[in-house]
Structure 1
Amino acid sequence: MTAQEMATERENAAKADTLRALHVPGRPLVLPNVWDAASARAVTAAGFPVVATGSAAVAPVLGYDDGEAAPAGEVLAQVARIARAVTVPVTADMERGYGLAPAEFVERLAATGAVGANLEDSDPRTGAMVDADEQAGFIAAVRAAAREAGTGLVINARVDSFAHGTGTPDERLADAVARGRAYLRAGADCVYPILASDSGTIRALVAEIGGPVNVLFRPGVPSIAELAALGVARVSFGHGLHAATQRYLATMLTAISEGHSPYDPLPTF
């Protein structure tokens, strides 16, 4: 390993430590998820200390549907472009690893400069939930590979009980808690029960999982201040900002097609 490579490795390990330390219950790390280098730079210019990608935003930018339809190499190349564009830690939404074996996954993700990863527990192509023990084993293998490689990878374990699970709301909550606990034991740093949305459910998840909890911010979810009061440690925006940007672009294109200026009146926010 060259001196430059050793310096880069040390720098990335330090970024991983920084990212991990920012997961503070009650003082959540807020992540407006990005899709390219330009949006990443905008996030850092606004003062956010971490850049996070969203798979449902990155995939269409690359010309693919979400759900691991994009080749792993293209996704990793986009993550690398984003990481090169900023100086803050980058965490990447990697769906369920794009079929890569844990050691290869860790190695190739580290090569992009990203120091964190989302890993979900449903099959991205079918939506079927993965057996909890199987997913815990996968997370444990990724953690072991990261430890062996010395990357310090920060793992955000997505729990899809509310998105793809079955049963009553109470049964889904119980499943999310059980999965979250198992994933933390396996080596995850944070648990992401995606689509948990009401205060009571979020409060129960925070109290019962026993580790940092990530909530997806979307319409109908408590405010960021309220999520902080509930003890949430991380707030993500998923593909929401990209979707809103695309909707606004559509209104501008409609104005142009109708012979109007897309800038009149000036955009208001």
Structure 2
Amino acid sequence: MRRDQKYTAFLGLHTGDSAFVMPNPWDAGSARVLAAEGFGALATTSAGAAVTQGLRDGAESMTRAAILSNAAEIVTATDLPVSADLEDGFGLAPETCAKTIAMAAEVGLIGGSLEDATGGEDGGIMDMGLAVERIAAAAEAAKAHQFVLTARAENYLHGRPDLKDTIARLQAFEAAGADVLYAPGLPDLDAIRAVCSEVGKPVNVVMGLRPPFFTVQELSEAGVKRVSVGGSLARLAYGAVQQAMRAVLQDGEFAYADKAMPGTELMGLMRAAPTTRA
């Protein structure tokens, strides 16, 4: 599928009557497994990318090059549109955010999200003016590259449960040119409904981060257009490995293998080996 076709298809997913689910693989193999299930688009996960390298999640852990390398592998693994978790844009300056969007498009990404958190150990939320300038610069770059820009308001992930400010930020990001709006960690359906009713662009909600876990139908009825799952699938996979090996150590049993995906099925979803092994 050509880039323009992926771009059009991805935008179209946001216009349906109900929300679509965009799962988050953490590498090429998990991307192929998810693509085979029939999803219309995929998204990367910074947490998943970090743990594959034995690192903690966070902009201070993964470089832009590492994030884009992981994203490129996921892009080439399937023919689906892929949107990336681009952290804080890998720099505070608006021009850095614009460059990150351009670089993301160059590796084949059709979309990506930018946070308004400063990152680092102290966390923190950016000044509204700077946050809007960053989204405006990123939006200009996105329009030049057929790229769907998601703007994130991070209040609820950084100890600031301020719905009024969150909505104000999302409205400002919308005015600055963002295509999709996202406030991870909203506490309940009332908050989600309030966000969706106060903005004019599609809203993404993450499930699997922490309870409560709403259904796709409930989220659709609240006005949500897109549902992602963040790093929860990677945590699920690592958790399954942890539990299986604990049982081996504690009980000497290998019953976990009964629940594993059959090798023939898994290999059938992967690409064929290269013709040369040099």
TM-score, normalization by structure 1: 0.88
Q: How does 1:39-188 map to 2 (within 5 A)?
A: 39-68=30-59, 69-99=61-91, 101-125=96-120, 126-147=122-143, 150-166=144-160, 172-188=162-178
Mapped contact 1:132–1:179 kept (Cα < 8 A): yes
8 Å Cα contact 1:193-1:214 kept in structure 2: yes
CA shift in 2, pair 1:103/1:129, >3 Å: closer
Query: Displacement, 1:255?
Result: 2.2
Of 207, 216, 226, the match for 2:206: 216
Kept in 1: contact 2:90–2:97 (CA 8 A): no
What are the within-5 Å matches in structure 2 for residues 2-41 of structure 1?
A: 11-24=2-15, 26-41=17-32
In structure 2, give the amino acid aligned to 1:213. V
C-alpha distance 198-246 of structure 1, shift in aligned 2 (>3 A): same
Unaligned 5+ runs, structure 2: 262-278
The TM-score normalised by the length of structure 2 is 0.85
- Indicate conservation of the 8 Å contact 1:139/1:188, yes or no: yes
Structure 2 CA distance for partners of 1:185 and 1:46, relative to 1, 3 Å: same
> Percent identity among equivalent residues?
34
Is 1:13–1:151's contact at 8 Å kept on the other side of the alignment? no
Q: 1:25 to 1:18 in 2, by over 3 A?
A: closer
2: distance between equivalents of 1:106 and 1:32? 21
Give the total of aligned pairs.
Answer: 253
Find out whether 1:263 has 2:256 as its counterpart: yes
Confirm or deny: 8 A CA contact 2:46 2:231 kept in the other structure.
yes
Q: CA deviation at 1:17?
A: 2.3
Structure 1 window deviating more from structure 2 (75-84 vs 60-69): it is 60-69
Confirm or deny: 8 A CA contact 2:142 2:149 kept in the other structure: no
Over the residues paired in the alignment, what is the CA RMSD in angstroms? 1.9
5+ residue gaps in structure 1?
1-7
* Distance (whole Å) between structure 2 residues aligned to residue 103 and residue 209 of structure 1: 24
